Structure 1
Amino acid sequence: MSSVADRQDAIETCTRMAWYADMREWEKLTELFADEVRLDYTSQHGGEPLTLSGKEVVDAWSGVLSAFTTTQHLLGSFLADVDGDTAVVTAMFQATHSMPSNSGGSLWTLSGRYRIGLARTRTGWEINEVVMTILWADGNQQLYTRAAEIAAGG
């Protein structure tokens, strides 16, 4: 049986992931990730899940998210299952992305579910898996395409 403190610490790590991404605190965000992270955004992009280093995850996120004027990732309805030194936190999310646009509006919002895998280390919980499942989206999806182009140098 996991303790309330274990579950709360795992949830706190996931909350910090969203907070640091929105606050553009890339170094702090990098510290949350394990050396190897399975990243599954196939519900948005298709394709196959990726396995990246924690730094590669943050580099990718920082490139795209920094292209937006602002982002807000809200997490809630947490379920945390801890089994020894591993944990899985499931949370509902709503992520709003803002960028000036000449057409289609300046907001793009996604909502869905995150499944976040964690492993306990000497210094706390590290994220080793992020699976995003989109349930709905609204607004100008072209903003993401534009942000990805800016991140790629375009």
Structure 2
Amino acid sequence: MADLSLDRTEVVELTLRMAWHLDHCEWERLVSLFTGEVLLDYTSLNGGEPLSVPRADVVAKWRGNRSGLKATQHLLANHIVTLDGDTAEATAMFQATHSLPNEHGSPLWTLGGEYRYGFTRTGEGWKISALTMNILWADGNRNIRDLAVAD
């Protein structure tokens, strides 16, 4: 029988590691947190439709978005985890601050909202299989995202 408290701890740890590795540009470690394909839903930010994306492509996109920024900081809190055998779901509130000193406005862009994660238990342990970002608020200079990619 599975230890539900241990499973919950591992799932929450995965969400925290995702944020940590992203903020510290630890790309290989970030890739290892995901299943081969990830159902990614950033429609609250970019519009469009959710997509099933190879994990390497997810991390490559994030790496491209992060590379021109001075720093990012993703804070997570209020995790709620639902376990169901070899699958799990979790939600967490987030605040993501992006920093890029520039001549075109504020050096910060901050998003706040909710992440919804899907998890699958694999032979290597729990992995993130789905991620949805639901933005509830934003503040600052959204243009720093484009300025960072342009550099």
Q: Is TM > 0.5 for Structure 1 vs Structure 2?
A: yes
Give SS of 2:73's match.
strand
**Matched residues in 2 for 1:2 and 1:44: separation?**
36
Per-residue deviation, 1:2: 6.5
State whether structure 2 residue 73 is matched by structure 1 residue 72.
yes
Contact 1:2–1:82 (CA<8 Å) still a contact in 2? no
Residue 34 of structure 1 aligns with which residue? Answer: 35
Mapping of residues 39-118 of structure 1, within 5 Å: 39-118=40-119
Which one is further off, 67-76 or 138-147? 138-147
**Matched residues in 2 for 1:101 and 1:149: separation?**
12
Per-residue deviation, 1:123: 1.3
Contact 1:96–1:108 (CA<8 Å) still a contact in 2? yes
Structure 1 unaligned runs (5+)? none
Per-residue deviation, 1:148: 3.5
Residue 147 of structure 2 aligns with which residue? Answer: 146
Q: Deviations over 1:71-96 (max 9, x none)?
A: 00001000011100001110000000
**Matched residues in 1 for 2:105 and 2:139: separation?**
11
RMSD over equivalenced CA pairs, Å: 1.2
Give aligned-pair identity as a percent: 49
Q: Deviations over 1:125-147 (max 9, x none)?
A: 11110000000000001011223
Per-residue deviation, 1:111: 0.3
Contact 1:113–1:132 (CA<8 Å) still a contact in 2? yes
Residue 25 of structure 1 aligns with which residue? Answer: 26
**Matched residues in 1 for 2:79 and 2:138: separation?**
21
Q: Deviations over 1:99-153 (max 9, x none)?
A: 0110221000000000010100111111110000000000001011223434xxx
**Matched residues in 2 for 1:137 and 1:9: separation?**
30
TM-score (normalizing by structure 1): 0.94
Per-residue deviation, 1:43: 0.3
TM-score (normalizing by structure 2): 0.95
Q: Deviations over 1:3-41 (max 9, x none)?
A: 111111101011100000001000000000110001100
Residue 16 of structure 2 aligns with which residue? Answer: 15
Which one is further off, 119-128 or 91-100? 119-128
